[in-house]
Every structure is written in C-alpha cells, then in structure tokens.
Amino acid sequence: MAELRLKEILTSRGITQKDFAEMMTQAGSPMSKQFVNNIVTGRQNPSWPTMEAITRVLGIELWELFVSSEMLNEKSAPDYCEVPQQELTALIEFRGKMFKACSIAELEKMIADWKEERK
C-alpha cells in the first residue's frame, strides 16, 4: 500500500496525533495514539473501513490520503470533471502531472487527448 499523507494533513491543520486519536474515538472509530503513530510512520496500514473513517473525521476524500501536496497543485493539470455527481473518481499521474476524471467519458477524453499529443 502507498504511504498515507496523514501526518502532512494533521500537521497542516494543527492536529496532534493524540487529538486525532480522540477525534476518531469520539466519531465511533476507537483509535489509540500509538495506532495513529504507527499509521503516520508507516509501520502499520489501516484497513479500508479505518481509512474511510479517517476521511469522514477529516472531511476529505479517500484519494486525498495518497496524493502529495505537490501533486495537488491544481494549476499543473486540467480537471476533466464536469458533472456534479461522480460516476467514478480516477486520479492518474501522467508525465508528472495529476489528472482527475469523474466519469468513464471524461477518462476516455483524457486518454484521447494524450494520444493526440503523441502524434
């Protein structure tokens, strides 16, 4: 599993590992400070349900746990998402840029654009 950027997110929000463990416990997903530390340091990978609980508590999307802050620079790549309700979420790194598609049609357009660039 890829390294989670939980430490970066917590630090940017001024949340300590102890406070985060308490937030998780209050939200119904009991978590010790040691478990949070193990996740932050990469010694332990959380389960999918735990990652989903983490995203609910932090108010973020699941993919945001995996994408570095440098890759989230929205000016680096176009956002193909045009529909408010997402059919899917595809986050793709291509040639050092991050792309996000919210439907199969958008994903197909992205691929077609890349193929056209190669010509």
pLDDT digit string (tens) for 42-59? Answer: 888 888 889 899 999 998
* Predicted TM-score (pTM) of this structure: 0.59
Confidence bin at 73 (pLDDT 50/70/90): low
Would you state the pLDDT for residue 87? 66
Residues 6+ away with beta carbon under 8 Å from 24: 30, 31, 36, 53, 54, 57
pLDDT at 77 > cutoff 50: no
Distance CA 75, CA 57 (A): 28
Residues linked to residue 92 through DSSP beta bridges, in sequence order: 99
pLDDT of 71: 62
